[in-house]
Amino acid sequence: MTSRSDVAAIIDHTLLKPEATPADVEALVAEAKELGVLAICVSPSMLPVTDPGELVVATVVGFPSGQVKAEVKAAEAVRAVADGAAEVDMVINIGQAIAGDFDGLEADIRGVVEASGDSLVKVIIESAALSDEQIVEVCRRAEAAGAGFVKTSTGFHPAGGASAHAVALMRETVGDRLGVKASGGIRTVEAAEEMIAAGASRLGLSGSAAILNSL
């Protein structure tokens, strides 16, 4: 079994529910500090975060559909970084991947990477909605565009969240050059350990406490 501290060190403690309030974010920050996780991930409207302490602050752009004009995603990233986001989790235009417009998809990612400056960009590929071939090509394009991570899911798509198969395929594609973040539907220790074993170097969790307290 993976140690509690090892798992905590790769968790993005996440609150992206549309009904979340500023008080909920304050509670998230307090819980994240208590749990000793790496990062928090909140909606861009909740930035800047008051007193994050040592926590890495992440946010999302083009979330959750990805069907936003590329220049709007880039503008979101500029504002997010100005508001204190050290990491930016962007959603690809999933329709571009399915239609085979990988040049357009790569340009979309590159625009966010450039707009994010020194902040780390994680590319949410919505793996459950893509074929294996599409997953591989999207990961290649994310790397070519300068992203730091590829990420399985928003957690909001009806096709589902993270799978060990997708994580393993993503890790195989990017090697040790990029990080791989598993997110969406990871609610048990067993699921978390399965994702880590498949190659995940970061976990996006809303139920971090339940998982960590089981270790």
For residues 44-69, give the mean pLDDT.
Answer: 98
Alpha carbon distance, N-terminus to C-terminus of the chain: 8
Helix (H), strand (E) at residue 5: helix 4-8
**Has residue 2 got a pLDDT over 90?**
no
- pLDDT for 74 equals 98
The pLDDT assigned to 211 comes to: 97
Please give the pLDDT value at position 124.
Answer: 98
Q: Nearest to residue 59, comparing CAs of 30, 34, 84, 26?
A: 84
How much is the pLDDT for 189?
Answer: 96
What mean pLDDT do residues 45-60 have? 98
Give the active site residues. Answer: 89, 151, 181
What is the 3-state secondary structure of 123-161? EECCHHHCCHHHHHHHHHHHHHCCCCEEECCCCCCCCCC
Q: How many CB atoms lie within 10 A of CB 147?
A: 26
Distance separating alpha carbons of residues 101 and 27, to the nearest angstrom:
41
CATH number at residue 151: 3.20.20.70
C-alpha separations of 170 from 3, 14, 43, 147 in Å: 24, 22, 25, 14
Count of the separate structural domains present in the chain = 1
pLDDT score of 19: 98
Domain range enclosing 189: 4-212
Helix (H, G, I), strand (E, B) or coil at 176: coil
- This prediction has a pTM of 0.98
- Per-residue pLDDT for 90 more than 90? yes
Residue 194 has pLDDT above 80, yes or no: yes
Digit-coded pLDDT (tens) for 135-176: 999 999 999 999 999 999 999 999 999 999 999 999 999 999
Name the residue among 172, 173, 174, 167 with its Cα closest to residue 192.
167
